[in-house]
Structure 1
């Protein structure tokens, strides 16, 4: 198994220098009408153009919606195959591999680790109303505690610890298994000067709405590795503390199982939306500062949700 993971990781390294074009999986049906309506929404909200993201140049939105309400999953997107910096969204890929290793019996939810430098990077709590203290050098914590911090509060220190436990080679072997080429986890959440040997100059992590949406589709349908891993992921995503983005524009009856991410020019929300009547996946990557994106997300969510309900 280790040899297979190493071979896959070597292939990942060979492919990290250029973006790859993702292909729509055969279990999705591209819905032209849904696609047209989604593009209208994006255009009406001023999200259809190019955005200046500083030294990274020009970026575009990456958006995917999968309607799961009836029959074969209906897919629509706007630049859904556009690779973009995911901020903290890729922490859900890390969590999936951690759950995989727990299922295999290699580690346990109640296994403890000692938190050490340089993984300690957070200076403030990402969710200010969460009372849990910042991780400190020498803290002894469980994997379960780290998972919850990483997903629900988007804690970067917890993510660094879990990336070390899961190992990037194995996280990426899982991503490659589902053909999510180009979405490999290459970086931890720390300065390059503190990166592990071999990772100091590697390209930054990227993903696209298609891959994130496909990941969540597998979570929802119990096909991410196996039903146990899928259900553990859904429970964890359902405890998200940041509901300031896409989730804040949904009706009160809706439940969103999701992961958000925000940093500099990027503000994202990806998740499963279910209100008992309709169920859909949304993966929205906005190349906007959080202060700008928070003004748009409520209306974007309202219109997308109405679009799905009208179908």
Structure 2
């Protein structure tokens, strides 16, 4: 009886050990594949991946390396806006003036946004007219409107946005200013982030622990309407829902968000790059890595 019990225990131990080893090997194998895909591409890269239902299933590559945030900082702006709305400091349907005059954080001097540098043009046709907070938020995320972003940051306050990120556990992301503050840029005063911090933010969004369930659903809906889909979304099966925010400036190409696979399942993926002059190569690699992770996730389910 004792012998049979010992044999059964040994079999169970070996089975569990092999299962864990297989899982561990799979993670390591995937990480090697990711790194191999980036070989030969000039630049510095960071990747963060996490299963939204299993924190043990994650990959972190250079996750604490600091990057220029580019437009990924617009997700924190969105969160701060919805936080204020939840606290009844404002109503998302309240009116706000479409203006194009902002103060540099360096010396308070005024600057304006250039329509040619903005991915969204329509707001410039309506300067000095009113729109809603929601409309600005939608354009800021889906079409990455810089003008909408600056209007919202000017209203909400960059420091308040950063403080909210700290409250969420995103300890490194810094929202210092709006877009095109060239005086600040020349002095090295730029918004910055890490892959880990963006992972933390989207983890809150994925679990519905951000602000309120209603606000969470609304923010995810906006993020799912993203029109720039040449990185995380590019090679996923058609129709795969992805709530994400891209970001790019010269030699910087980012994407960060949640890939939903159905039935409250999915994962968070953050891809950051800098010092990367070959935009096409980076976009292609990020799309390939996204598909690798998607296939791996579905194999492990």
Report if TM-score (shorter chain) is over 0.5: yes
In structure 2, the CA distance between the partners of 1:299 and 1:200, relative to structure 1 (3 Å rule), is closer
2:16 aligns with: none
Offset of residue 274 of structure 1: 1.1
1:276 aligns with: 262
Q: Deviations along 1:6-33, whole A, 9 cap, x unmatched?
A: xxxxxxxxxxxxxxxxxxxxxxxxx854
Offset of residue 126 of structure 1: 5.3
Q: Deviations along 1:267-296, whole A, 9 cap, x unmatched?
A: 111111012264111011122343332232
Say if 2:81 is the partner of 1:98: yes
2:34 aligns with: 42
Offset of residue 155 of structure 1: 0.6
Q: What SS does the aligned partner of 1:250 have?
A: coil
Name the CA distance, whole Å, in 2 between partners of 1:229 and 1:47: 41
Structure 1 gaps, min length 5: 1-30, 52-59
Say if 2:152 is the partner of 1:176: no
2:68 aligns with: 85
2:46 aligns with: 62
Structure 2 gaps, min length 5: 1-22, 103-111
In structure 2, the CA distance between the partners of 1:134 and 1:284, relative to structure 1 (3 Å rule), is same
CA radius of gyration, larger in:
2
1:292 aligns with: 281
Moved more, 42-51 or 238-247: 42-51
In structure 2, the CA distance between the partners of 1:80 and 1:47, relative to structure 1 (3 Å rule), is farther
Q: Residues 237-252 of structure 1: matches in 2 within 5 Å?
A: 237-252=223-238
- Richer in helix (by share): 2
In structure 2, the CA distance between the partners of 1:307 and 1:80, relative to structure 1 (3 Å rule), is same
Offset of residue 134 of structure 1: 3.5
Task: Find 1:208's aligned residue among 187, 194, 199.
Answer: 194
Say if 2:153 is the partner of 1:163: yes
In structure 2, the CA distance between the partners of 1:44 and 1:202, relative to structure 1 (3 Å rule), is closer
Say if 2:294 is the partner of 1:305: yes
Name the CA distance, whole Å, in 2 between partners of 1:269 and 1:47: 19
Offset of residue 112 of structure 1: 1.2
Offset of residue 200 of structure 1: 8.9
Name the CA distance, whole Å, in 1 between partners of 2:259 and 2:178: 29
Name the CA distance, whole Å, in 2 between partners of 1:123 and 1:236: 23
Q: Deviations along 1:239-294, whole A, 9 cap, x unmatched?
A: 11111211011111421111011110111111110122641110111223433322
Say if 2:104 is the partner of 1:118: no
Contact preservation (8 Å) 2:118, 2:145: yes
| CA RMSD across the alignment | 2.5
Offset of residue 136 of structure 1: 4.9
Contact preservation (8 Å) 1:249, 1:297: no
Q: What SS does the aligned partner of 2:75 have?
A: helix
Contact preservation (8 Å) 2:141, 2:223: yes
Task: Find 1:148's aligned residue among 138, 141, 149.
Answer: 138
Name the CA distance, whole Å, in 2 between partners of 1:160 and 1:229: 22
TM-score normalised by structure 2 residue count: 0.80
TM-score normalised by structure 1 residue count: 0.77
Q: What SS does the aligned partner of 2:208 have?
A: coil
